[in-house]
Amino acid sequence: MNENTNLFLNFNDDDFTNPLQTELYNYWLKVKGDRAMPARRDIHVHELKHMLPTLMILDFDVVDKSIIFRLIGTECTNVYGEHTGKTMNLYPEHKEAIKRLMWCVDSRKPYYVTKNLGNINKEYVNTSFIILPLADDGENVNKILVGHHFY
């Protein structure tokens, strides 16, 4: 199993492996404005239509601290499989991802990752993704927007 994970808590446009990630991050910054993070209702899917295959939206259940796959773009499904509506915490291969996502929930900040997908037996696939927190109440993360690039 190959994890080869590079985590960027501070990142800039030069770190991204795909221009769609730059575009998504700048969109998130624009819609959040002066707030710590935007709400899901601020994200207009029609403005992101061209990148939908690479996007995921995860729900965070504050009661049982679980992460649920809410929306998975077709490129993500092709790599990860169809998990819409399933709880990420039930998959042991996502243990490290859950730790990183919980950091996002707790810190209320985005981060960026590059890694090999050996943890899901796909050593031949590398990915990068930006993790962007969303908060419907303006304070507590209840959704996470993810922008992938597979290479």
pLDDT per position as a tens digit, 7-40: 999 999 999 999 999 999 999 999 999 999 999 9
**Whether residue 151 has pLDDT greater than 90:** yes
Asked whether 124 and 40 are in contact (CB, 8 A), the reply is: no
Residue 68 falls inside a structural domain: yes
Q: What is the mean pLDDT of the chain?
A: 95
Q: Average pLDDT in the 61-79 region?
A: 95
% of the chain at pLDDT higher than 90: 91
Give the pLDDT of residue 134.
98
Count of structural domains within the chain: 1
Q: Average pLDDT in the 48-73 region?
A: 96
Residue 42 falls inside a structural domain: yes
Give the pLDDT of residue 63.
87
Q: Identify the CA nearest to 4 among candidates 151, 93, 116.
A: 116
Euclidean distance between CA atoms 107 and 113, whole angstroms? 16
**Whether residue 2 has pLDDT greater than 70:** no
Give the pLDDT of residue 93.
87
Residue 144 falls inside a structural domain: no
Contacts of 81 (CB under 8 A, 6+ apart): none
Q: At 3, is the pLDDT very low, low, confident or very high (cuts 50, 70, 90)?
A: low
Give the pLDDT of residue 119.
86
More confident residue, 93 or 146: 146
**Whether residue 123 has pLDDT greater than 60:** yes
Q: What are phi and psi of 59, to 5 degrees?
A: -95, 140
Q: Identify the CA nearest to 130 among candidates 37, 46, 55.
A: 55
Residue 120 falls inside a structural domain: yes
Euclidean distance between CA atoms 123 and 74, whole angstroms? 20
Q: Which helix (H) or strand (E) holds 52?
A: none
Q: Which residues pair with 58 in a beta bridge?
A: 69, 144
Asked whether 110 and 134 are in contact (CB, 8 A), the reply is: no
Q: Which residues pair with 9 in a beta bridge?
A: none
**Whether residue 53 has pLDDT greater than 90:** yes
Range of the domain at 78: 6-128
